[in-house]
Amino acid sequence: MGTHLPSTEFDGTAVDDQREADAEAVMGQPPAQMVQLLGPDGKLGFDPVFTEYAEKLTAEALRGLYADMAAIRRFDIEATALQRQGQLALWVPLTGQEAAQIGSGRASQPQDYIFPTYREHGVALTRNVDLAELLRQFRGVSNGGWNPQDTNFHLYTLVLAAQTLHAVGYAMGIQRDQKLAAAEAPGQGKESAGKEAAVIAYFGDGASSEGDVHESMVFASSYNAPVVFFCQNNHWAISVPTNVQTRVPLSNRAKGYGFPGIRVDGNDVIAVHAVTEWALEHARQGKGPVLIEAFTYRVGAHTTADDPTKYRQSAEEDAWRAKDPLLRLEKYLRSEGLADDGFFAKVKSDGDELAAYVRRTTHDLETPDIRSAFANTYAEAHPLVAEELAWFEEYSAGFAGGEEPAGQAGKAGH
């Protein structure tokens, strides 16, 4: 089969990734089946494995999943507005991926440890990270913003795929801690049953092409590490479509490492929750790693510095908006009599309240100082850094009042 590259800027992948299925057929294998429980029409289907997990979700839990998705979408809108108004140096939107993040995050347990990339704002919400604190990094006043030990949610990783290596190393550490505890206190296994921990490593379809992901999966398989690799396939690695990244479904890559790979409808929060719960149980029980490919879509830009109209058609975006994760769960909740107008009005009100809190807190943050970046480059003074700082000071003095132009500090800090 010949190599195909987009012939125009709009020659991307079809919304159902038919090319991937065709490639599977050429190689004599059936297309990867995608786990879906809640369809775009809001009707709940059946799966022989994962329906059992979905049935554990109570009406209250389902309403909670919707409330979480609505809250993080409202937060995303507010953060984007803050960046456009010069309050943040950059923002990484998540709209469209709420189900993948909320469903997987809520399936984890407090003792599990999570390694995010830089877009997992929804997962941060499920781990009780203060969303206003999350913005400190994007304002340029912190290298992190929160203490991972408080929530078992690691700091954002801006270096593509580096967190997958960290996640596997952490999972291998969990293995050794458990073996040591068992050796030091034999016969105590029943008391610790159910408290075993696992790790989730989030990454995108673009990051899946990084060597770090391959190396991580080799180590995870070799050592049977309790880690779940969670790939959010949002179809676009900035401007590169999925079909250029891979010729087959990403979930199939797990076969080469010898552990399970599952493709799930990433806009179906119920299916994502069920699949992630199963995968984490699998890992905690010592059965080894799992790869989950959440088949979703980045509705907005890659970051606020990106313009998606340059590389994809609006018709593609519209097709995916019809699969909106919030809309399909709302249809289900209403049709089953699990939520009424009062509930949805309360969710909207809570979202507006969260947005107001985030805006107020962000405005109260200190103004980032670019000079701190020079001071923190090396532990000791460095002549080249001193020379660059001197140039910057001279440059800044050329403006009225001796200060750099408005917004320059935040931009330079990014």
Q: With contact defined as beta carbons under 8 Å apart, do 288 and 281 qualify?
A: no
Residue with tokens 């460095």: 382
Residues contacting 81, CB < 8 A, separation 6+:
none
Of 374, 399, 372, the C-alpha closest to 387 is 374
> Catalytic: 136?
no
Beta-strand relationship, 240-241 and 236-237:
antiparallel
Q: How far apart are CA 235 and CA 245, in angstroms?
A: 9
> Catalytic: 127?
no
Q: Which of 302, 312, 328, 359 is catalytic?
A: 302
Q: Which of 63, 139, 298, 312 is catalytic?
A: 298
> Catalytic: 298?
yes
* Burial grade of 45 (CB within 10 A; 0-12, 13-18, 19 or more): middle
Q: Which of 113, 118, 257, 311 is catalytic?
A: 311
User: What's the Cα-to-Cα distance from 290 to each of 275, 282, 299, 331, 413, rounded to whole Å?
Assistant: 10, 8, 27, 31, 38
Q: How far apart are CA 116 and CA 159, in angstroms?
A: 11
Q: How far apart are CA 228 and CA 200, in angstroms?
A: 5
Residues assigned a catalytic role: 298, 302, 311
